[in-house]
Amino acid sequence: MRRMPQRNPNFAVRREWDRRAWRRLMLWTVGGLVLVAGFAYATAQHFAALRLGYETELLREERARLAEERRRLLLVLAEAGSPQAIEQAARARGMEPARASQIDRAATGPTLVGAASTFGR
């Protein structure tokens, strides 16, 4: 059952543009786009903050690891610089302590090479 006749005589009638409705539609569209862009920007900032937080945590862990390694190396350096370690290393290379006859007691301090010729003596 059809209530409208098959051939409608009003098919050529065109509706007028409602300019106020068009402006409202554009205003809502622009406002919605601004709102979506704001949410997208806030989301990007949030994920950037999370990424920086993870990187900061990794750097803290690396800093702690490097501080521990530095402390260990300073202990090794202090141990290697001790007189006992130096003497042991010298003996391992075939060196022996100086005898009393090998020590020149006349030289009490550093001497300047060519100092006598400079002052005309």
Evaluate whether 85 touches 79 at the Cβ level (below 8 Å): yes
pLDDT of residue 10: 66
pTM: 0.50
Provide the pLDDT confidence category of residue 37 given band limits of 50, 70 and 90: very high
Nearest to 89 by CA among 75, 79, 99, 74: 79
Provide the pLDDT confidence category of residue 111 given band limits of 50, 70 and 90: low
| Contacts of 96 by beta carbon, 8 Å cutoff, 6+ apart | 90
pLDDT of residue 121: 47
